[in-house]
Chains A and B, each alone.
Chain A
Amino acid sequence: MYTDKVMDHFSNPRNVGEIENADGVGEVGNASCGDIMKIYLKVENNIIKDVKFKTFGCGAAIATSSMVTEMAIGKTIDEALELTNAAVAEALDGLPPAKIHCSNLAADALHEAIKNYKESKA
């Protein structure tokens, strides 16, 4: 049911963990739905230097979290804000229809982390 890319990111997730003294932290989802994603950012000169994640959730939740970290690293804050859940799903060669609602929150988590970064800077 999952694509090879999803299974790759699920079985070898990239950038798992936390960043100490992160510049921004974002968390979305909730336990009742079965998915929680937490994203940590390191930002230098408006460029995302490092991203780490922690996720409670199904295969799709873990794979989208992993993928969004890869997609965000190296982007400017504004570029990262343009990343969508759909783009993350597309980069994984798609997700099963049932997973679109609950598991595709990775870009939302990233945006929350950026929001948190902007607020803490302001």
Chain B
Amino acid sequence: MKRIYMDNNATTAVRPEVLEAMLPYFREHFGNPSSVHWAGRAVSPAVEKAREQVAKLINCSAAEIVFISCGSEGDNHAIKGTAESLKDKGNHIITTTVEHPAVLHTCKALEKQGFEVTYLPVDKDGMLDLDALEKAITDKTILISIMWANNETGNIFPVEQIGAIAKKHKVRFHTDAVQAVGKIPVDVQAAGVDLLVLSGHKIGAPKGVGALYIRRGTKLTPLIHGGHQERNRRAGTHNVPSIVGLGVACELAGAEQAEHYARIKALRDRLEKGIFDQVPEVKLNGHPELRLPNTLNVSFAYIEGESLLLNFDMKGIAASSGSACTSGSLEPSHVMGAMCVDVVLAHSSTRFSLGADNTQEDVDYVLEVLPPIVQRLREMSPLYNRGGKPLTCDECQIVRRV
């Protein structure tokens, strides 16, 4: 059976060049880079080289890069570290309703400790109102945390304008750039970002490694206390092979991003157009233009996302869904809820996130098998051709309208 992977926003395969670069650091160069002896000395330059490679990709200096274990750690570090270090200055944080759970739940945890959080709404296309952002800033605001690009819709937020607003009001700006890095140019200087998080496994490095950019002079309480690694900013023995892999992945991303952008966007657009041409009653979730080149999020009316994904899976196609049934909770995607997507459509939201390995043949195969699957599930749905009024639920109240 064909295997077509269109879930690159969830994770990516480790690239061969990355794996190749990593392998010596499991056996031959196994040392702890903090050690003074020959074994340590053999690996510390590799960690520093990786730091340079990561820094170059996002246009900062190597000293501003801290290696971390994952995107969630970086977001926790940036937000909790800021809250702790700036608590004498204020207790107000501004974020959005569509952030990744690593940001949202960190903010919720801080609310329990007495911090106040403003969750900015988005419009039906999932975009922010920057006037609302500026109006939300008070003399107690210590942090603006807004993602560079949304993982579900692919929407790209205007980080340069947000950075300018943050600078004007002298508020620190953190951005979760996990989905943006490698897909679009990410420049921390141009965007005026103080804290940025990126994750290795979204760009062809392994799972379990990432980087936190901390602008020089930014006071940030560590999240993990312990040894003196990473200039006392993040304790814990370096994950040397993965850090080496992250460095190589960043170097490749820098070299290939522009070419990949054009090629992947052409495939995504072909998929999008093909679906809209062939299947009636489909809704695009996200902004029509201001989106990552690889992401397509659509809802197929009358059917539920998980059953769609299972059917795709039976045809070898890997995609993802915002349905409650795929999230492990009883609620559909909070991003769809924030965009006021109709509840049935939220349950059917389906995300295709393409990668450099996808081909036009892959796209055409999806376009061949998708319409009959959608039609078959629609024929099974009691909502299809129902007429009359839409169903609502008073008991659940699951999707909160903004």
Seen from chain A, the residues whose Cβ lies within 8 Å of a Cβ on chain B are: 7, 10-11, 13, 16, 27, 30-38, 54-62, 98-99, 101-103
* Size of interface on B: residues with Cβ below 8 Å to A: 33
- Cross-chain contact A31 with B307 (CB below 8 angstroms): no
Supposing A27-B382, A36-B383, A36-B391 touch, asked if A57 and B307 sit within 8 A by C-beta, the answer is yes
Closest residue of chain B to A62 (Cβ to Cβ) is B307
Q: How far is the CB of B226 from chain A (nearest CB, A)?
A: 36
- Cross-chain contact A59 with B383 (CB below 8 angstroms): no
Q: Residue among A37, A98, A101, A103 with the most chain B CB within 10 A?
A: A98
Give B377-402 interface residues, CB cut-off 8 Å to A: 379-383, 390-393, 395-399
Q: Which of A11, A16, A35, A58 contacts B380 (CB 8 A)?
A: A16
Measured between beta carbons, the chain B residues less than 8 angstroms from A27 are 382
Docked Cα-Cα span, A54 to B398, in Å, equals 23
- Cross-chain contact B307 with A30 (CB below 8 angstroms): no
Measured between beta carbons, the chain B residues less than 8 angstroms from A32 are 343, 392-393, 396-399
B194 within 8 A of A: no
**What would 13 A/B residue contacts be, using CB atoms closer than 8 Å?**
A11-B311, A16-B379, A31-B344, A31-B391, A32-B396, A32-B397, A32-B399, A33-B393, A34-B323, A54-B380, A57-B307, A58-B305, A59-B310
Q: How far is the CB of A12 from chain B (nearest CB, A)?
A: 11
Q: Which of A10, A31, A58 contacts B383 (CB 8 A)?
A: A31
B235 within 8 A of A: no
Q: How far is the CB of A106 from chain B (nearest CB, A)?
A: 13
B302 within 8 A of A: yes
- Cross-chain contact A98 with B328 (CB below 8 angstroms): yes
Docked Cα-Cα span, A35 to B343, in Å, equals 11
Q: Which of A38, A58, A98, A99 contacts B307 (CB 8 A)?
A: A58
- Cross-chain contact A56 with B303 (CB below 8 angstroms): yes
- Cross-chain contact B382 with A33 (CB below 8 angstroms): no
- Cross-chain contact B392 with A31 (CB below 8 angstroms): yes
Q: How far is the CB of A3 from chain B (nearest CB, A)?
A: 13
B282 within 8 A of A: no
Q: Which of B323, B332, B380 contacts A55 (CB 8 A)?
A: B380
Closest residue of chain B to A60 (Cβ to Cβ) is B325
Q: How far is the CB of B311 from chain A (nearest CB, A)?
A: 8
Docked Cα-Cα span, A58 to B348, in Å, equals 10
Docked Cα-Cα span, A75 to B233, in Å, equals 69
- Cross-chain contact B381 with A55 (CB below 8 angstroms): yes
Measured between beta carbons, the chain B residues less than 8 angstroms from A7 are 310
Q: How far is the CB of B1 from chain A (nearest CB, A)?
A: 14
Q: Residue among A13, A37, A62 with the most chain B CB within 10 A?
A: A62
- Cross-chain contact B330 with A102 (CB below 8 angstroms): yes
